[in-house]
Structure formats: structure tokens, C-alpha cells
Amino acid sequence: MRLGVNIDHVATLRQARYPAGPGAPFAEPSPVDAALEALAGGAHGITAHLREDRRHIQDRDIAELREQVPLPLNFEMGNAPEIVAIALRTKPASACLVPEKRAEVTTEGGLAVRAGRAGLAETVKALQGEGVRVSMFIDPLPEEIEASAELGAEMVELHTGSYANAVAEAERAEHAGRLAQGAELAHRAGLQVNAGHGLTTRNLPGLAGVPHLEELNIGHHLIARSVAIGLRAAVAEMLEAMAVTWCGEE
């Protein structure tokens, strides 16, 4: 199973002090340096979300990550014409389509693929025309999985946020069960199954029963943990937790 490291929060920290972004003299920390640290820790890919409001990752970050980091770039994006145009120019290895609201702190809920099919079809086709593999960030609902397959997406990323946020054990187990069913259904529909949002080394073990997972995309916990032990070690720690959870390796 692969680990994609979301480095948005590195840019969040930089923007807090240097709102002019990566071009500002003395700007730090650098998302590229963070991505290279993630690589040294064993990461298999880097995810960055270029939001319309540019609150963290900037256009120049995307170009630099693409040019300077020898890992597949997963371009997380809302379906907005300006962002789609940048994705088409950048030609990342993959693009993950997400819903995006300006007022949200982080991505809330999955993409409404079925309801938004008409608007998404052209974007999926355009991205694939540039050799970009497309993922849909969705809640583990049968209708959204089916709609993603019908649109021709190669992958779905199952939204693990509700699972991660559940405090009561029974509620958490219920969400894990829904994720397992969703993963089964997506796999049967021929989709690569990824997952992400809110995952930590503590809550990972509860997902041991979710089959067919090929990639996890994790950001906040890894960057938070890196404050104490560094990103390289945080990534290695997560890879070990993944191996223990799904392969029983100690």
C-alpha cells in the first residue's frame, strides 16, 4: 500500500509569515524541501491542493513540486476552470477532484459525482487526454462509486473524515464498515481504491478490515507529528503503522 503525503500545511505555515508566497525573500518553510524529506522517509507520492483562494499552496509551488520532486504529484483540485487549466498545463501523475468551499477549514464531505456528472465529465476527459489519472474524492456511497466508474475515473479516494471524527466506538465501527463495503464495491467496479482524511497512526488500526486499499493520502497528522520528530521520521512511522495494520508486520 502506498502513502501519499499531503504537504499543504507546510505552505500554510509559510503563508502565515510570508503572504507573498514562495517568491518572497527568505520565505520558509519550503514545500519542495518537505516533499524531499517525505521521500527520504519512504513516501510514494506527494499531494498538494491548489485552492481557488490560494490560502496555502501557490501556483509556483505546484510548478516547483512537479519539476524538483522525483515522486508522482497528486494534484488535488476543485472543478473550477482556472484550476483545471493549471492542472492541464502541469500534467501531474494524477488529479483528485474534491468539493471546495471558501469558508471551510478543510475539505468537508465527498464530491457529489452523481449530481454533478455533467460538469465533471468534460474535466475528467480533458485531464485524461493529458495522461493524468483521475480520482474522485467521495463518501463511500454506492451511487457515488457507480457514478465515478460511469464517468471513467481510474480511482476513488474514500473520505475517511467521518470515521476519523467519530468519538464513540460503535459509531467509528459503523463508519469503518461503510468504508469496507464502499471499497469492495469500488474494487468490483474496476476502480483503484484510495482513502484519506483525518488518518493518524492511532486511528489506522480500526481500518484493518477495509479491503483493496492501494493508497492513503495523509497530511495533517504527518505535518503535526513532524514538529516533534521531523517529517522523514513521521512518514516512516506511518508506513510502519500501515504495514502492521494491513499486513500484520511488526
Catalytic residue among 49, 159, 175, 221: 49
Question: Catalytic residue at 197?
Answer: yes
Minimum gap (Å) between residue 128 Cβ and ligand PXP? 19
Q: How far apart are CA 38 and CA 125, in angstroms?
A: 31
Alpha helices in the chain (DSSP H): 8-17, 31-40, 59-68, 81-90, 117-129, 142-150, 161-165, 169-188, 220-229, 231-247
**Looking at beta carbons, which residue is closest to ligand PXP?**
219
User: How far apart, in whole angstroms, are the C-alpha atoms of residue 245 and residue 250?
Assistant: 9
- 1 or 26: whose CB is closer to ligand PXP? 1
Question: Shortest distance, CB of residue 25 to ligand PXP, whole angstroms?
Answer: 28
Choosing from 9, 37, 56, 76, which is the catalytic residue? 76
Rank residues 26 and 92 by Cβ distance to ligand PXP and give the closer one: 92
Tell me whether residue 39 or residue 223 sits nearer to ligand PXP (CB atom).
Answer: 223
- Spatial neighbors of 75 by CB under 8 A, at least 6 apart, are 47, 48, 50, 62, 87, 90, 92, 94, 95, 96, 132
CB of 115 to ligand PXP, least distance (A): 18
Nearer to ligand PXP, 23 or 167 (CB): 167
End-to-end CA, the chain: 16
**What residues contact 96, with CB distance under 8 A and at least 6 apart?**
47, 74, 75, 76, 77, 134, 135, 136, 137, 155, 157, 217
- Which residues are at the interface with ligand PXP (CB under 6 A)? 6, 8, 49, 76, 96, 98, 106-107, 137, 157, 196-199, 217-221
Task: Tell the smallest beta-carbon distance from residue 223 to ligand PXP (Å).
Answer: 8
Cell of 110: 465527498
Catalytic residues: 49, 76, 197
